[in-house]
Chains A and B, each alone.
Chain A
């Protein structure tokens, strides 16, 4: 009965329907943990941007000279001091600053790279796509830390890369390293998205009127994959922050110059604290890392729910 089915299809656009973006926003806001997480991350970001004001001491400034350099938390060092008497609270602020920078920078680079590669692979298919998928399969199948360490050394072992990567223990090197890793996961996601979009009418239509490949990718495919890309971006930030901490923990992290620090370096120092019982050196950096990881993950989770209505959290 053509009349009936038509009437039904149209009725979905009728009524007071919200635009997809409004609906996404509404779904995002209904994820309470994500809203709290946004506030936490926002405050934290402000805090570290304003580090010169929010930190009580310089990053490398001693509160207490040795021999009694390990102070437990007290009024002149809220979170205690480390082995050479530096204020943990101030160092955490500077450390988070470096870690957020690493996280954001490598996430943005790798997501941009991954989105482009994934879009081209998904759109063109064929050999390029095959090879790309094989390579990423291989990389993703390996234990992450092993690949990370080996690739790190390979990068550092190629002298002609020096101008781009800088010294192996620089923050820049870490960002390049994580970007090289991060794009693969994103490329997979975007590729999948593009494969499903490719068959949709508006892409067919663009192709039919002879739009160029690049035009279709940039004007149609990428904007329509913006949801998954945003989600990937969020998770890449956490991924990079945790990877930095992991590397630093095992002694392969950045040694930011002039006593500058990172969350990873602070967490790495916790290893020693376990043996000695200076609990604050372990508990506070770990706690900050957990809060950051959890908050950004919650935001990513809510973004995913908000931009992908098919996923029903059942809540």
Chain B
């Protein structure tokens, strides 16, 4: 096995809300290996963003975070603010869904990149500006030296997302977390942004965590996949084995609802994601699972190796073999 750069163990996040405590992440285990592209997939509200915001130390103070997150062997949960600041942007970077609002409208693009460089490296303003232009070039922005002097509103959505990637990789981080980086973009632009991310991963050996609710995106670029449901991971494994013979009923449902050539009708998963203020007992998926039995309501399933996959389903062994989605 290759080296693990990020090891998340039993991560739990609880928000105090006016309607009571809300446990958004309920014991996540997840590894990111050096240089890989890990996909994290799940419906909206399954806790993907919260998991990685907790990793970055970017959750609001009223969130209670427990468990362990090791970044290159260093514990991040409970680390001092000062330490977390030195980690953010240097070892760990994160880019967010909406490129239109993620850049500060009143500062020049070049300055926003330089700020990232100068806050972690001892660079003169001149050198930082030069490096910023190089970075714009790397993410595929034409005429980078002119563009560096412009403001965000002079860029299109796709171009802004490239700028945001440039900021994120400025200090050559170990892990780049991309939270739905293409969701807000046109289909054609989506593909370009995914290409940029892949290029960065290959060129700098950056491990990438690609968060999305779209398995189609994952299928295109990811090495491994982690499926999340109701704040837990329910299945993980390599992209090939997952598509070959998904084992968890939720994964099967996700794959069955993917549009594919030669298939007439999509089969969406019936029912709704659970209310996390009051999640179902046992396997949270039992309210929607076609294989649900009484046992599912009692036991909280943990990830168990099952073939090449790790699956959190108490009935995994008894289930009929799945259709091949590859």
Contact = CB atoms under 8 A, between A and B. Distances in A.
Contact of A1 (B254, B271, B272, B275): B254
Contacts of A4: 43-44, 213, 254, 257, 268-269
A75 interface: no
A13 to B, nearest CB: 10
Given A1-B215, A1-B258, A7 B267 contact: no
A222 B236 CA distance: 54
Which of the listed residues B43, B267, B271, B275 has the most CB atoms from chain A within 10 Å of its own CB?
Answer: B43
Given A3-B257, A3-B266, A8-B45, 17 more contacts: A1-B213, A1-B214, A1-B215, A1-B216, A1-B258, A2-B259, A2-B266, A3-B268, A3-B269, A4-B43, A4-B44, A4-B213, A4-B269, A5-B213, A6-B268, A7-B273, A10-B272
A7 B43 contact: yes
A19 interface: no
Nearest to B44: A8
A5 B183 CA distance: 12
A121 B266 CA distance: 47
A14 B257 contact: no
B266 A7 contact: no
Interface string A1-36: 111111110110011000000000000000000000
Nearest to A13: B272
Interface in B262-293: 266-269, 271-273, 275
Contact of B268 (A2, A11, A14): A2
B33 to A, nearest CB: 26
A7 B229 CA distance: 14
Nearest to A16: B275
Nearest to A11: B272
B272 A3 contact: no
Interface of B: 43-45, 213-216, 254, 257-259, 266-269, 271-273, 275
A3 B267 contact: yes
Nearest to B43: A4
B71 to A, nearest CB: 31
A6 B268 CA distance: 9
27 contacts: A1-B213, A1-B215, A1-B216, A1-B254, A2-B257, A2-B259, A2-B268, A3-B257, A3-B266, A3-B267, A3-B268, A3-B269, A4-B43, A4-B213, A4-B254, A4-B257, A5-B213, A6-B268, A7-B268, A7-B272, A7-B273, A8-B43, A8-B44, A8-B272, A10-B272, A11-B273, A15-B275
Nearest to A14: B272
Main secondary structure of the interface of B (DSSP, over half): loop
Contacts of A5: 44, 213
A258 to B, nearest CB: 55
Contacts of A15: 275
B39 to A, nearest CB: 13
Contacts of B269: 3-4, 7
Nearest to B257: A3
A114 B289 CA distance: 56
B140 to A, nearest CB: 27
A141 B58 CA distance: 44
A1 B250 CA distance: 14
A125 B303 CA distance: 61
Contacts of A11: 272-273
Given A1-B254, A2-B266, A7 B271 contact: yes
Which of the listed residues A4, A10, A14 has the most CB atoms from chain B within 10 Å of its own CB?
Answer: A4
A260 B24 CA distance: 65
Contacts of A14: 272
A226 B98 CA distance: 33
Contacts of A2: 257, 259, 266, 268
Nearest to B41: A1
Interface string A82-108: 000000000000000000000000000
Interface string A118-140: 00000000000000000000000
Contacts of B259: 2
Contacts of A7: 43, 268-269, 271-273
A2 B257 CA distance: 8
Contacts of A6: 268
Nearest to B271: A7
Nearest to A3: B268
A190 to B, nearest CB: 29
A4 B214 CA distance: 9
